[in-house]
């Protein structure tokens, strides 16, 4: 993310940095949860030693904690939060129903709902950041 921001001759904002950080943590915990659930369902226990340190309820609680994060550059970007929330909840649904999670890139490449929300988020983000859109006062 930082390389991309610097490549277009910009400085990273708090909003994009925090959101990228939290998204990376969310995806990492979702991947760990999917792997643990798969190993438990196959063998009844985990095979990798690191997975013994986790339980499904604990990883579920970590996944749930990320839906409460809000951060922004232009206060108008708050309108993108529902789009991100819906995409993350769709991803979480797929992880919890064991249809993915170990390969987040595969889900993003093939799930049309997530693709729709990512594209809508990107278009809205670019519209707000590159336009003169200010729906809320800065604090």
Domain ranges across the chain: 2-130
- pTM, entire model: 0.57
Q: Can you tell me the mean pLDDT for 11-21?
A: 78
Q: Can you tell me the mean pLDDT for 59-69?
A: 68
pLDDT band, very low/low/confident/very high, at 72 (cuts 50, 70, 90): very low
Pick from 11-15, 43-47, 101-105, 122-126: least confident? 43-47
pLDDT band, very low/low/confident/very high, at 70 (cuts 50, 70, 90): very low
Per-residue DSSP letter, 32: H
> Which is more confidently placed, 136 or 73?
136
Q: How far is CA 128 from CA 33, 88, 109, 132, 135, in A?
A: 35, 21, 26, 7, 9
């Amino acid at each position: 993310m930082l390389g991309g921001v610097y490549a277009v001759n910009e400085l990273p904002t708090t909003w994009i940095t925090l959101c990228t950080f939290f998204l990376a943590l969310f995806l990492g915990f979702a991947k760990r949860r999917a792997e643990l659930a798969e190993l438990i369902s196959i063998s009844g226990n985990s095979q990798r030693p690191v997975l013994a340190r986790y339980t499904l309820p604990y990883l579920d609680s970590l996944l749930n904690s990320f839906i409460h994060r809000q951060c922004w550059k232009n206060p108008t970007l708050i309108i993108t939060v529902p789009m991100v929330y819906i995409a993350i909840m769709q991803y979480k649904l797929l992880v919890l129903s064991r249809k993915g999670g170990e390969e987040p890139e595969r889900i993003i490449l093939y799930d049309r709902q997530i693709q729709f929300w990512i594209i809508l988020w990107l278009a809205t983000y670019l519209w707000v950041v590159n336009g003169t859109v200010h729906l809320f006062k800065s604090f």
